[in-house]
Structure 1
C-alpha cells in the first residue's frame, strides 16, 4: 500500500493513504487489520480523509512494514465485523445533518421570500398532521405543542419563525436518532458473541477447535455454564437454557432432542449436542439490537420521569398561551409562550445523556445493558466482591502439584486439566494453562463430566484395571460430600501443604491423589480501588469466597474490605445481597463464576468480569474487562456524573425557558426570537449531553 507519513511522534503515527476516496468497507478492513496487531494500542481510520492514526507500543519499523505490505484484497475480515461496525451509520447521519444545514442555509440565502413561504407551508403539513393524530388519540403531548406553534406562525404569515422551528426540530430529531442508534450499536457489538473455541463432536470424541472452522451441520457440544455459539437443533442431551438475552424470559427453558436453540443463550444446567444451522455472527447482532431497542431496560427511571413531565407540561403551556391572550389581548405575547416549552429539551436531553453515558462506558471496555443500571450504580452504597478472579488476579497460576499416590505430578496434572477444561472458571483455567505449558497433551479418557456448582467436578476415568471415579474440587466437596480419605502415611504431607496458596483436591477411587497449589495473589490495584470506591460514595465493602477462613482472612486484610465471609455457597451470597437490600441498601455484586450468578441476579447492579463464566456475563447487568478493577471505579464515576448532568439539565431547562416565557409575556422578546433562543438552547443542551462525562 502506498502512503505518506503526515505526522509522527514516539508511539504514534498518522498516515495519508495514497488512493482515491476510501470506501467504508476499506476503512473497516484497515481498522480490523491493524487493531489485531499485537503492538496496536488504538487505531483510528478516517475514511473521508483517507487517513489512519496508529498508537502503538513496540518497534516503529514493524508498523511501517505492515503498512507497506498491507493489501485490502489479502486482509481477512469477518463479514459480520463490516456489517456491524457502525461506520456506515455514522457516515449516513453525518450526511443527513450536513444536508439539512446546507439546505437551510441555501434556502435563506438564495430563495425569494414567496418561494420560502411555500416550502415552509408544505413542510409544516407533517408536523401539523402529527399533532392532529395525537389529539385524535386523546393525548395532549409534545406533537400538539409543536403543531400549534408551527400552525399559528403559518396563520400569522410568520414563515421565518415556522421555518426556524421546523429546522431546529429536524436537527434535534437527527441528533437524537443518531445518538440512540450509535449507542445501541456500540452496546450490541460489545454484547455480541466473542467465542474463540468450541467443542466439536467428531467420531464420538470432543475436540476443542476454533469457532471459525465450524461448518453448517457440524455437531457441537455445549457444557453447563457455557454460551451456545450457534443457532441449531439439539441432537442429544438435555439442558435448561437461559434465553433472557433474546426473549426476556427469566425462567430457563428446557431443551431436549429436536428442540431449537439460539446463539447467545446460555446452558444453565445439563449439557447438549447441537447440529449447527447458522454459523454467521450477524444474525446474533441483529437479535441483540432488536432486544435492546424493545427492552425497557434501556430507560432509567429519570428518563421516564423526564418524558412524563414533558408530556404533563404541554397542557399547561397551551393553557398559559390562552390565558395570556385573554388577559392582554396581545397575540404576540401569547405566541411567545407557545414558542417556548420545557418538553422538547426534557425529552431530548435526558435520553441522549443516558445513551451517551452508556457509549462512554463502552469506551472503557465496560458494557452496560441499560440506563437504569447507571442510575442504580450512582445510588449504590454497598459493594460485594467475589474473591477468586475478582479481587485476586484474573489469571491465577499453578505453583505445585503435590502427589499423594504413585503417579507422577505431570500425570496427575494431565488428568486434572482433562477434567477442568470443560468448565469456565479462573481456577480451572489455571490448571489447563499449567498443563499446556508442560505440553501435556491428552485424549478424552473419561466419561461424561458432571459439574457440581461451587463444589467441583465428578467423572469416571477409563482404566485398564477397570473404571475409576475421579473428582476434583474443594476440600468440603472431596472430603465431606464424597467421603474421600487421605492415603495411609500421607497425613504429615497433607498437614505441611503451604498455607499461602489456594488448594484444589483431586481424588481417584475414593482416595486423595493430588493437591494442586494455586497462587491467587491479590490484584495490585485492589486496595486502591476499594479506597477510590469509598471516595465515590460506597460506604460498605464486602468480600465473599468459597475459600477457607485462613485464605479469606489474609486476602481481606490486604484488600482493606469492611467485612468478609469464607466458605460460602452460591445461595449464601444471594441471601446476603437480599438481606442488605431488605435493610434499605443499594447493592452492587461483582463476580466471575457460575457460582456468582444467583447473587448477580439478586443485586441492584450485577457486574461480571469479561473473561469469567458466560452464564455470569449473561445474567449480569454490567460487564467489565478482566485487566483492571479500576473500571468499577470508572463506572461509578460515570454514573455519579450522569446523575449530576441530568439534574443540571433539569435546572437549566426549567430556568432558561421560564425566563424566555417571562420576557415574552412582558413584551421584551418577540415570538421569533423566543423560538430561536428556545430551540437553540435545546440543541446546545443536547450537544452538551453528548459530551463525555469524564475528563480525557
Structure 2
C-alpha cells in the first residue's frame, strides 16, 4: 500500500480535489441536501491551505512579493463574499495546473530513468587474477571490468583487451552498431552485441554520460532564457497593476463581486507556467535522442541563430586519417607494394602509420602478426624507413624523389598523382624498396557522412551563412569546403583568431553558433551565442564550454536540435502572449464590466493555464522529419 502511495502521490491531491469539486458543483446546483455547512467549504479548505502554504513558502524563499499572492487574495475575497465554490475552483485549478506541470516533468524524468535502467546492478570486476560478480557500487575508476556478448556496459571507460560490436543507440541515438577494440572508448548503458571485452574504468556514477544527462535535465529550469526572465519581470509589476485595477473598479462600481472576478481571472498561473513547461519538455525530448541542451537560454539563442561556424578536424571531418587513394606502378606487384607498406608501418606510432596499418588489416585482410620486424628509423620531416634482410623499405613524402632524381616511364604519373593529392589537401606518400619506387598513396582526414546534406537542411531551417574555421592550411580548407558545400572559410587560425572572428561576426549583428570538439575550440564555444560540442568522444573541456552537446558524432542531429529549439521558442511565445497575456486582458475587461462572475472567471482563467501546460507537453513527443530533400536524412531517432 505504501509503495502504491509513493508511486502515485502526485495524483492523490489533484484527483481528490477534482472529486470533491464535482460533488460540490452537484450539491450546489442539482442535488439539494440539508447540510450544516455548504459542501464546497471542504475542497476550499483543503485546496486553499495547500495554495496559501506554498505561496507563503515561495515568498519567504524568494524574499520578495510574488504574483502568486494574487491567488491568495482571490481566495480570501471569494470566501469573504460567500462564493465558496469560486474559491474552491480557483484553488483546484491552481493545484491542477501545478499537477500537469509536475506530470510533464515526471515524463521528462522518466525518459532519463529509462536510460538509467540500462545500467546493470552487477558486473564482473577483476579481483586478483579472476573476474568476480560484484555490485556496481563496488566499482571505482581504474578497475578492470569484463563485459561479454549480450550484456550492457556498466561504466564509461576504455577497452583494455578484446574487441566487440557495441550498440550505442541508447546514448548517442546512432542506430548502427559500432565495432570497437583496444583503446576505443565505451559508454555506460550501451549494449555489447558481440565479443568479449575488458574495460579500464574511467568514470562511474554522476561522472558518466548518463550522469551528465540527469544533471542537464535537472538544471534546465534553473537556467532561464530571456523570455522566461521577461515573464518573471512581467509578473513583478503585474501584482501592483492588478491591485490598482481592483481599487479603481471598487471605487467606480461599488461591486465587490467584480473585484473578486478580476482577482480570480488575473491569477498569473499561465504566465508562470509559460516557459518552464516548454523548456523542460524540450530538454527531455532532446536528451532521449542523445542531445544535451543546457536550459532555456540555449533554446532561445539557438532558435535565433543565423550563422554557424564549424571547426574542421573532428567536426566536419572524422578527426582521424584514412587511406583515400593509391597508385601502384606495376599492378602485378601489388602484393610487394602492400608488404613494403606493412613492414614500414607495422610499428609506427604516428597517426598516419596507424591509418595505413588499419587499411591493410581492414581492406586488404593482412595479418600483421605474420609481418617480420625490422630496424625501424624515423626520417624527420620526410617519413619512415625500415631495414630488413639487407633490404631498405621506405614510406616518405616527395623529398624522397629529390634524392633519387629519377626519370622513368612512371615518373610523370607519380608526380601527377602527388600534385593532384596535395592540391586536395591530402598527405601524399611514395613507397620504396631499395630505392625503387613501388607506388604512391594518399592519406587524409575524411569528411563525415551526412555533413553535406545536413548543411543543405540547415539552410532550409533559416541558417543564412556557414563558415569553416581551421588551423589547417588554405589548400586543405578549400578542398574540404568545396566537398561539403561551405562557401566561406578561414584557415591557419590560432584559437585566439577564431575568437576574434566570432567577435567580428557578432559585431555585424549576426547570431553565431560555433561547433567544435577540441580544447582549442573551447574559447570560441564559450564566446559564441551558442556553443555546440561535437560528440562525447571530444574533450571534456569542449563539452563543459558548450551549451549543446551532440552525444553522437552524427552532425545531422544538429538539424533536429535546431528545429526543436525553433518550435519550442514558438510554443513559449504562444504560451505567454496568447494563453497568458491576451486571456488576462480580455478577462479583466469582461470582469470589470460585470460580464463574468467569480466562478466563470476561475474556469476561463485556469483553463488558459491548462492549455499552456498541454501546449508545452506537445514538445515531449515532438519529432522532426524533413521530406523536402532527396537525401532523406534519417535524423529522426525513435
Q: TM-score, normalised by structure 2?
A: 0.66
Change (3 A) 1:683 1:435: same
1:591 aligns with 2:506: no
Conserved in 1, the CA contact under 8 Å of 2:426 and 2:442?
A: yes
Residues 374-413 of structure 1, C-alpha deviation per residue, up to 9 Å, x if partnerless?
A: 111122221112334534568874336899x998312444
Corresponding residue for 1:315?
240
* Aligned equivalents of 2:110, 2:612: Cα separation in 1: 23
Conserved in 2, the CA contact under 8 Å of 1:165 and 1:675?
A: yes
Corresponding residue for 2:323?
398
Conserved in 1, the CA contact under 8 Å of 2:71 and 2:267?
A: no
Q: Offset of 1:599 from its aligned partner?
A: 2.5
1:348 to 263, 273, 289: 273
1:649 to 566, 571, 575: 575
Q: Offset of 1:105 from its aligned partner?
A: 4.0
Residues 468-506 of structure 1, C-alpha deviation per residue, up to 9 Å, x if partnerless?
A: 799999xxxxxxxxx997583389768743517654589
Change (3 A) 1:393 1:672: same
* Aligned equivalents of 2:38, 2:623: Cα separation in 1: 49
Change (3 A) 1:490 1:413: farther
Residues 558-599 of structure 1, C-alpha deviation per residue, up to 9 Å, x if partnerless?
A: 433231123434443333223322443221112344443333
Conserved in 1, the CA contact under 8 Å of 2:575 and 2:615?
A: no
Q: Which moved more, 1:99-108 or 1:679-688?
A: 99-108
Q: Offset of 1:687 from its aligned partner?
A: 0.8
Corresponding residue for 2:404?
489
3-state DSSP of counterpart to 1:315 = helix
* Aligned equivalents of 1:192, 1:545: Cα separation in 2: 41
Q: Aligned ranges for residues 189-208 of structure 1 at < 5 Å?
A: none
Q: Aligned ranges for residues 210-249 of structure 1 at < 5 Å?
A: 216=139, 219=142
Corresponding residue for 2:168?
none
1:128 aligns with 2:52: yes
The alignment's C-alpha RMSD in Å is: 5.2
Q: Aligned ranges for residues 37-436 of structure 1 at < 5 Å?
A: 101-102=18-19, 104-105=21-22, 114-131=38-55, 139-183=64-108, 186=111, 216=139, 219=142, 279-280=204-205, 289=214, 293=218, 298-341=223-266, 343-362=268-287, 364-392=289-317, 397-399=322-324, 408-416=340-348, 418=349, 420=351, 435=361
* Aligned equivalents of 2:350, 2:117: Cα separation in 1: 28
* Aligned equivalents of 1:472, 1:188: Cα separation in 2: 54
Q: Offset of 1:162 from its aligned partner?
A: 1.3
Q: Offset of 1:617 from its aligned partner?
A: 3.4
* Aligned equivalents of 1:537, 1:287: Cα separation in 2: 30
Which is higher, the Rg of structure 1 or of structure 2? 2
Corresponding residue for 1:635?
561
Residues 222-262 of structure 1, C-alpha deviation per residue, up to 9 Å, x if partnerless?
A: xxxxxxx779xxxxxxxxxxxxxxxxxxxxxxxxxxxxxxx
Conserved in 1, the CA contact under 8 Å of 2:141 and 2:203?
A: no
* Aligned equivalents of 1:108, 1:334: Cα separation in 2: 23
Conserved in 2, the CA contact under 8 Å of 1:340 and 1:674?
A: yes
Corresponding residue for 1:446?
none
Residues 342-367 of structure 1, C-alpha deviation per residue, up to 9 Å, x if partnerless?
A: 62111112211222232333455432
* Aligned equivalents of 1:191, 1:568: Cα separation in 2: 41
Corresponding residue for 2:597?
670
Change (3 A) 1:185 1:519: same
* Aligned equivalents of 1:187, 1:600: Cα separation in 2: 26
Change (3 A) 1:187 1:598: farther
Change (3 A) 1:466 1:298: same
1:520 aligns with 2:446: yes
Q: Bigger relative contact order, structure 1 or 2, given CA contacts below 8 A and separation 6+?
A: 2
Change (3 A) 1:656 1:291: closer
* Aligned equivalents of 1:192, 1:469: Cα separation in 2: 53
Change (3 A) 1:575 1:334: same
Corresponding residue for 1:542?
467
Conserved in 1, the CA contact under 8 Å of 2:294 and 2:548?
A: yes
Conserved in 2, the CA contact under 8 Å of 1:472 and 1:505?
A: no
Q: TM-score, normalised by structure 1?
A: 0.61
Corresponding residue for 1:580?
505
* Aligned equivalents of 1:623, 1:504: Cα separation in 2: 31
* Aligned equivalents of 2:67, 2:340: Cα separation in 1: 76
Conserved in 2, the CA contact under 8 Å of 1:398 and 1:431?
A: no
* Aligned equivalents of 1:625, 1:536: Cα separation in 2: 22
Q: Offset of 1:694 from its aligned partner?
A: 5.9
Conserved in 2, the CA contact under 8 Å of 1:472 and 1:506?
A: no
Q: Offset of 1:161 from its aligned partner?
A: 1.1
* Aligned equivalents of 2:354, 2:13: Cα separation in 1: 51
* Aligned equivalents of 2:65, 2:490: Cα separation in 1: 55
3-state DSSP of counterpart to 1:608 = strand
3-state DSSP of counterpart to 2:480 = helix
Runs (5+) with no aligned partner, structure 2: 28-32, 120-124, 129-134, 145-154, 158-186, 189-198, 329-336, 384-396, 431-439, 626-638
Residues 16-57 of structure 1, C-alpha deviation per residue, up to 9 Å, x if partnerless?
A: xxxxxxx99xxxxxxxxxxxxxxxxxxxxxxxxxxxxxxxxx
Conserved in 2, the CA contact under 8 Å of 1:470 and 1:506?
A: no
Change (3 A) 1:494 1:399: same
Q: Offset of 1:134 from its aligned partner?
A: 6.4
Count of aligned residue pairs for this structure pair: 519
Corresponding residue for 1:564?
489
Change (3 A) 1:638 1:394: farther
Q: Offset of 1:121 from its aligned partner?
A: 2.0
Conserved in 1, the CA contact under 8 Å of 2:312 and 2:469?
A: yes
* Aligned equivalents of 1:400, 1:293: Cα separation in 2: 49
Corresponding residue for 1:658?
585
